[in-house]
Structure 1
């Protein structure tokens, strides 16, 4: 399914900004976009490069999928990924994935950006998260208008259709700090 998304992204003219790793779903989509002729930018902190790119240290001349930007820390990584991308598509993952997803969702709620936030709900992976958001709205911890910040799709086509047709929910905040940070130069997800 990650491969299908990568192929569909290239078909629609999108490049990929991603966390710079080479394995798991992150590696699959990066390799697919790169090998299909799409532009790929991996943003990775030096401290975790050995974890997310171990082959660079064990396999001589290992190929990097596209351009690699090494940064100092996770905060810089996320800020740069936000600056370089037109929006966010989240594939299933663990704590780091959830942390990044919730941060860009919060940034949208605060009107720091007005970019799509789309979940690739592969095989129902995000169903419990979507139910949690509904529960949080019911309990009045999340405003009902903020439910639409995250939208989900269960196929590559549905994900990219939702990305392209995304409507930014209204916000009570106006923290869009810089115009430059919200306007990438090229189409990247």
Structure 2
């Protein structure tokens, strides 16, 4: 078992689901970068997400990236991803992904949006999304953070039973002292 998976298991054992998911998707993880994780027949052993960005506003991001499924399972399936992950007695769903596998349209994108009271595939309004410390976080190039702002942002998460879905938003609020335009658009994904 590789060094990265030992870190993932240690994080899960400590109850740090989101930290473990982040470690599982970090830059040392060959699976997060389309690395060599194939079975004897050459077929991929893990589910992968194809994530498409169509975002405008403060930053324009249009492009697609393939990423690992955020999970505390060593070999997650699309059905497992769609069902969510158990953490502290609750079912949690992570929007792909805590850290994208590579640049998208020239930008480093970090998504920290999760549903903590996840009831399986379906539609979730923006007020059900949370982030690490803030609601519905999306960070671009490690410097500009965007979040759901009550009364300003409209947002919706849709998850299907095959692990695919979308997160649409209007006026995702830019945090910081310098006012910047919010983000509008859609992040969608398929799992296979």
Q: Choose between structure 1 and 2 for higher RCO, CA contacts under 8 A separated by at least 6 residues.
A: 1
Q: Which has the higher helix share?
A: 1
Give the strand-richer structure, 1 or 2: 2
TM range (shorter): under 0.3
TM-score between both structures, scaled by the size of structure 1: 0.26
